[in-house]
Amino acid sequence: MTRSDLISLIRRKRSFLCIGLDSDLSKIPPHLLDDEDPVFAFNKAIVDATHELTVAIKPNFAFYESRGILGFASLEKTIRYVNDRYSGELFTIADAKRGDIGNTSEQYARAVFDITSSGMEFDAVTVAPYMGEDSVKPFLSYPGKWIIVLALTSNKGAMDFQFFSDGKRRLFEQVLIRSAAWGSPENMMFVVGATQAAMLADIRKIVPGHFLLVPGVGAQGGSLEEVGRFGLNHDCGLLVNSSRGILYSSTGKDFAEKARSEAIRMQNEMAGILASGGL
């Protein structure tokens, strides 16, 4: 999906919502556990209930890798279903946080972008830039695909390294400056946690045109209103992720209906933010 496609999707759906499919077998509704593949059944129901309210889905690989071959089967079925049923309607993100030496990153890139190799094809993948340009470049060799670089995260441990300063700039600012030169706003986004919303104004000075993937709204305490106020740009430039707040709105047979209700609530707020921004 191109940048212009993504922007058109946001404008049409009046939403910049991303649903994180952090699908935990221990938390999904008990009645699904008798299904042949409970996690896929859960994911399919969530996607079907919310697809017109959201512009992106983001499976978190840890929740699938932890279940070994069964988990990978659920993941592959999920992304195949989305790509077949909702082609062009949902931007797909592999939340894998990859990043290693070049030849290893080449294999990681094949795993998420090359359907003939892995059986899966995503639009984007999250990457960790700590090892530098040569660990990131292999992901950028796929035309039409995106990388989403970890810049400023929403967890407590973000303070351990990301705010280290050399007296001129903080480490997360250096990450933004250096990594932005490796790609462009057409194929690169940045992760910026919603609990760091006040930092978005500083981040926008460095990367005014890039999309930002913003986790941490809802269960982690981030404010959607603040994210919009500090992070919105002329193209929207935001994908705001919600995982637990939508997925586990209910553990009963009405789980998909309740997930849809929460997605509607967020989409309505996002529509207002877009309107106030002239979009």
- SS3 of residue 167 by DSSP: coil
Instruction: Check pLDDT > 60 for residue 242.
Output: yes
3 state DSSP class of 91:
strand
Q: How far apart are CA 259 and CA 225, in angstroms?
A: 20
pLDDT band at 56 (very low <50, low <70, confident <90, very high): very high
Condensed to tens digits (0 to 9), the pLDDT of residues 89-131 reads 999 999 999 989 989 999 999 999 999 999 999 999 999 999 9
Provide the β-strand partners of residue 138.
Answer: none
What predicted TM-score, i.e. pTM, was given to this entire model?
Answer: 0.95
Q: Which of 27, 44, 77, 97 is catalytic?
A: 97
- For tokens 């967020």, name the residue: 266
For residue 219, pLDDT over 60 is answered with no
Give 235's DSSP letter. Answer: T
Domain boundaries, the chain: 3-276
> What's the pLDDT score for residue 218?
62
Q: Torsions phi, psi of 274, nearest 5?
A: -60, -45
Q: What is the predicted pLDDT for the residue at 154?
A: 78
Q: Is 97 a catalytic residue?
A: yes
> What percent of the chain has pLDDT above 90?
85
Residue 199 confidence (pLDDT) above 90: no
Of 205, 106, 51, 203, nearest to 213 (Cα)?
203
What is the CATH topology of the domain spanning 3-276? TIM Barrel (3.20.20)
For the segment 145-189, what is each residue's pLDDT rounded down to a tens digit? 999 999 998 788 888 888 898 888 999 999 999 999 999 999 999
Q: Are 124 and 93 in contact (CB under 8 A)?
A: yes
Phi and psi at 94, nearest 5°, equal -85, 105
CB neighbourhood size of 201 (10 A):
11
pLDDT tens, position by position, 225-241: 989 999 999 999 999 99
The model's confidence at residue 221, banded by pLDDT at 50, 70 and 90, is low
**Cα Rg for the chain, rounded, in angstroms?**
18
Q: Residue 106 has which token pair?
A: 């080449």
CB 102 within 8 A of CB 95: no
The more confidently predicted of residues 83 and 157 is 83
